[in-house]
Every structure is written in structure tokens, then in C-alpha cells.
Amino acid sequence: MRHEFENNGGNWNVERELLFREAGRVAFDLFAPKAHELLSRSARLRELFSSCYPLIVVDEAQDTAEDQWQCVRLLSAGTQMMCLADLDQQIYDFRPGVSSDRVTHIMAALQPLRVDLAGENHRSPDSEIVAFGNDVLLNTPRGAAYRGVSRMNYRANREYRDRAIRQAIGIAIQRAKEAAQGDIESLAVLATWGRGVNVISRALTGDGTNLIPHRVMIDEASVLLSSRMVAFMLEPRRPAAEELLDLADGLDLAATVFRARGGNTNLGTAQRLATSAIQGRGGTSPRANGVASKLLDALRTLRTHEFTGDPKRDWLDARSILRNAGANPFQSIAEDAEQLVAFQRGRRISAALTELWQTQGAYRNARSALDAAIAEDQLLSGGNDLRGIHVMTIHKSKGKEFDAAILFDDPNSSPLLFTQEAPPHPRCRKLTRVGITRARHHVLMLCDMFTPTALLQGHRL
């Protein structure tokens, strides 16, 4: 909404305020300001909250933005506050209002009892993982190995890189077991960017026959919306006379995927797809060899395609037809949908699609079945089980801990040195330290052999 509004010369800050007041729609960035406004204007509200919550724990207090901090300050008058803060783990300072002075503000306003836990380490007390993380943070390599830390280099070629990612899983697990002197339950593979998460997940998924089971913890919106596009491809096609309406539905679904991804390039693609959808609904045939015409050709192929009734096989067929449509947006959507396996959503989706086939001999309303299966899975599975192998960004790993952690450093998709800041790169070092200290027993640094990161220069691992 913001992209389209600003493209037409509008002021988004004004528009989102109108949406809030006139339509009851709240942009995410308005939640804290509006909460602050309510609490500052109503003593009764503050009293109600304080009576309900006599103790409030503010985790990651160093990363609170201005309006969030003001909510804490207002509630502190009637509630006991416990603020947990560590400036060495402030990794959200890129967000507006997040200040490196926040801990100073807290000390000045609340006059709290200060308890320094900097010397405590209950996560990895029998290793030197924290010492390594601190040395990376402070750029003070000691020139000797660290207990519980290792490094593995890989060749940049995709085949060698993916093989190394898979091998690193086994190596990290084995070394963590040796350190723990027994079985372990969890391992995290961490990247700095979402692009790196995709690379890792695809390497672990392989061709589907040699899958290393794992769960991806990133924003699932793009993947789930891409999967809705595949479900649309499974559904029976409209008659040939209504094929442009069919095309418009597909283009709208594709536009939704790119809108969810955000960024100017993706939002521009979404706008072009949505425009083509409007033209299709108006009866205008797509331009020859354009993106819309490629999808129309794929839908025509599906009109005569015979599905088997085996949901897994038919899903792969539909995804393959979308990927091979001959247009980059649809190839990208098909690749995104591959990650549905990594989200471990398959069993309920397969059951829902099987029921459709058995009752009607087709996958009519496959999108609705997909939505229902995913909703059920999200309700029943919960999001706090960290057993098994998890793939995520370092930002997502904040506050979590695992028996072993692998930090993936790839110059193109997951660089540990990811900003243009001057040496010694304090922001990058801070984020890398957060990733390193997620591990209980072992951390493995997985690095490009030919483009080693400057953050590890001088470290012997």
C-alpha cells in the first residue's frame, strides 16, 4: 500500500494516520506510538495495567525504540520493572528510535538496582565460545584455538558450497556430541541475510530424495503465498472462453507474492503483474512473449494435463510447470514454494489435497484446502520447539540457544561483513557475536575459502 501510494506522490505518514482513524487499519509501526498516546493520556489505563501486571520484564531493553521505552517509563510508576539489557547485543539499532543511549535513559529515569551479570555464563560454561565471541567483538584475536569452536572452508562453486553445508551439519553435530558427552537435541544454521537462509535451505533440501530435515525460521509469508500460487495451478482450469479471467487470478496471486517480499524491485514487479491482471479482466489479451503470456501458456498446458491423484507427485508437476513457464517471476515463485518442505507443512497439506481428490476427482478449491491445512498446522505445532535442525537469520536467533550453531559466511548471500562501515566494523562484529553465542557446546564457522571475512582475520580456528 505504501509503495503504490508514494508512487502517486502521496505522503504515507499522513495516509496511514487516516487509515488508522477512518478505517481502523493499523500499520505495524503505529502500534507503539498509539499505545504510548493512550497510556500518556489515561491515568486509568495505566492503573488497570499496573493492577493486572505487578511485575513487567522488559527483555532486550537496549533495543527498545523511543515510543516503546516511553510506555515502559509510564507503567513503571505503578509496576515493578525488570529490564534485561546488554549493549553488546544491540543489533536492532538500524530501526528508527533505537538508541545506544537507551540503557543510560533507563538508569536515569528508573533509578534501578543494577545487577551486573556480564561474568555469568550458564549457556556454554564448559567451552570458550563466549571468549571467542568477545574476541571477535573487540577485534582482539588471541592467535590460538578456542575450545568448542572450529572452522570449515568451502569452495565458492555452488556444488561444492552446497555439499559443504550438508557436511557441516554432520561435523557440528559430532563435535557437539563429543563436547556434551552425549546426545544433543538442536542445531542452528545461521545467516546474516534471508538470501543466505534460502541458500542453506536449498542445500539441505537437495533434489528432495536426500533431504536433511530442517525447519526454516524466517518470515513465511512469501513462501506460503508462493505455495498458494502452486495450489492455484493444481485447480481445474476455466473453459478456454474464460482463460483471461483464469490468467487474471494467477497474475493477482503472483503480485501478492512480490508485494509480500517488499523492496522497490519486488513492489515494481507486483505493480506490473497487477496491471496485467486488470487488463486480463477487461478482456485484453497479453502481449506476445511477455510475462503474462508465459503464464497463459502454462495455464493452457494445465488444461490438458492429467494429474495422478498423488498429491506429492501432482504438486511437483504443478510447480515444475510454473518454474518452466519461461518468465523470471514465476521461476522465483516456484523456487520459493520449494521451501514449504523445510517448513514441515507437508503432511496436513497432503492429507487435505488427498481428500479433495477422493471426493471430487480433482483439486477444486486447492487454495482453500492449503490455507486450512496451514492454519491447523500453525495452531497445533507451536513455535517454541527448537529441537532438530533450524535455519534462520542471526536476527531471528536472538534470545534462542542451541546445542550447536553453524555461522554461514558467503560473500554473495550471507556476508558476516555486510555494511560499508569503517574498520573495525563494530555493527557486524556485534551481530556475529550474537550468532556465535547461541551455541551451548560447539560453534562452527563455515567460510568461503577464497574470500575469507576480515572479521576472523588473526583467529586460529
End position of a domain, from candidates 44, 78, 110 = 110
Confidence of residue 3 (pLDDT cuts 50, 70, 90): low
Confidence of residue 6 (pLDDT cuts 50, 70, 90): confident
Are 71 and 31 in a shared domain? yes
Asked if residue 68 has pLDDT above 60, the reply is: yes
Q: What is the dihedral of CA 58, 60, 63, 64, to 10 degrees?
A: -10
Asked whether residue 165 is assigned to any structural domain, the reply reads yes
Asked if residue 385 has pLDDT above 90, the reply is: no
| Distance (Å, whole) CA 267 – CA 2 | 10
pLDDT tens figures, 140-151: 999 999 999 999
pLDDT > 70: percent of the chain = 95
Segment 424-443 shows an average pLDDT of 95
Q: What does the pLDDT read at residue 336?
A: 84
Confidence of residue 341 (pLDDT cuts 50, 70, 90): low
Asked if residue 439 has pLDDT above 60, the reply is: yes
Are 187 and 272 in a shared domain? no
Q: What does the pLDDT read at residue 219?
A: 63
Q: What does the pLDDT read at residue 384?
A: 61
Are 139 and 191 in a shared domain? yes
Asked whether residue 28 is assigned to any structural domain, the reply reads yes
Asked whether residue 124 is assigned to any structural domain, the reply reads no
Asked whether residue 296 is assigned to any structural domain, the reply reads yes
Asked if residue 230 has pLDDT above 70, the reply is: yes
CA nearest to 93, candidates 415, 372, 427: 427
Are 308 and 259 in a shared domain? yes
Segment 108-112 shows an average pLDDT of 94
Q: How many CB atoms lie within 10 A of CB 344?
A: 15
Asked whether residue 450 is assigned to any structural domain, the reply reads yes
Segment 55-63 shows an average pLDDT of 93
pLDDT tens figures, 157-214: 999 999 999 999 999 999 999 999 999 999 999 999 988 998 998 899 887 678 898 8
| Distance (Å, whole) CA 295 – CA 327 | 8
Q: What does the pLDDT read at residue 343?
A: 52
Query: When comparing pLDDT for 116 and 216, which is higher?
Result: 116
Segment 253-272 shows an average pLDDT of 90
Q: What does the pLDDT read at residue 80?
A: 96
Are 212 and 238 in a shared domain? no
Asked if residue 342 has pLDDT above 60, the reply is: no
Instruction: Give the position of cell 550438508.
Output: 166
**What does R_g of the chain's alpha carbons equal in angstroms?**
25
Asked whether residue 424 is assigned to any structural domain, the reply reads yes
Are 244 and 287 in a shared domain? yes
Are 197 and 250 in a shared domain? no
User: Into how many domains does the chain fold?
Assistant: 3
Asked if residue 344 has pLDDT above 60, the reply is: no
pLDDT > 90: percent of the chain = 73
Are 397 and 325 in a shared domain? no
Q: Which of 4-8, 400-404, 414-418 has the lowest mean pLDDT?
A: 4-8
End position of a domain, from candidates 56, 83, 110 = 110
pLDDT tens figures, 231-248: 999 999 999 999 999 999
Are 244 and 324 in a shared domain? yes
Asked whether residue 369 is assigned to any structural domain, the reply reads no
Q: What does the pLDDT read at residue 94?
A: 74
Task: Determine the structural domain holding residue 246 and report its residue range.
Answer: 234-339
Are 138 and 104 in a shared domain? no
HEC-encoded secondary structure of the chain = CHHHHHHCCCCHHHHHHHHHHHHCCCCHHHHHHHHHHHHHHCHHHHHHHHHHCCEEEECCHHHCCHHHHHHHHHHCCCCEEEECCCHHHCCCCCCCCCCCCHHHHHHHHHCCCCCCCCCCCCCCCCCCHHHHHHHHHHCCCCCCCCCCEEEEEECCCHHHHHHHHHHHHHHHHHHHHHHHCCCCCEEEEEECCHHHHHHHHHHHHCCCCCCCCCEEECCCHHHHHHHHHHHHHHCCCCCHHHHHHHHHHHHHHHHHHHHHHCCHHHHHHHHHHHHHHHHHHCCCCCCCCCHHHHHHHHHHHHHHCCCCCCHHHHHHHHHHHHHCCCCHHHHHHHHHHHHHCCCCCHHHHHHHHHHHHHHHCCCCCHHHHHHHHHHHHHHHHCCCCCCEEEEEEHHHHCCCCEEEEEEEEECCCECCCCCCCCCCCHHHHHHHHHHHCCEEEEEEEEEECCCCCHHHCCCCC
Are 104 and 143 in a shared domain? no
Across all residues in the chain, what is the average pLDDT?
91
Are 75 and 149 in a shared domain? no
pLDDT tens figures, 286-335: 999 999 999 999 999 999 999 999 998 999 999 999 999 999 999 999 98
Asked if residue 346 has pLDDT above 70, the reply is: no
Q: How many CB atoms lie within 10 A of CB 174?
A: 13
Confidence of residue 386 (pLDDT cuts 50, 70, 90): confident
Asked whether residue 361 is assigned to any structural domain, the reply reads no
Q: Cβ(226)–Cβ(257) under 8 Å?
A: yes
Asked if residue 374 has pLDDT above 70, the reply is: yes
120: left (phi over 0), alpha (psi -120 to 50) or beta: beta
Segment 124-135 shows an average pLDDT of 95
End position of a domain, from candidates 110, 138, 157 = 110
Q: What does the pLDDT read at residue 173?
A: 97
Confidence of residue 382 (pLDDT cuts 50, 70, 90): low
Asked if residue 259 has pLDDT above 70, the reply is: yes
347-377 per-residue burial string, b: 16 or more CB within 10 A, e: under 16: ebbeebbbebbeeeeebebbbebbbebbeeb
CATH code of 164's domain: 3.40.50.300
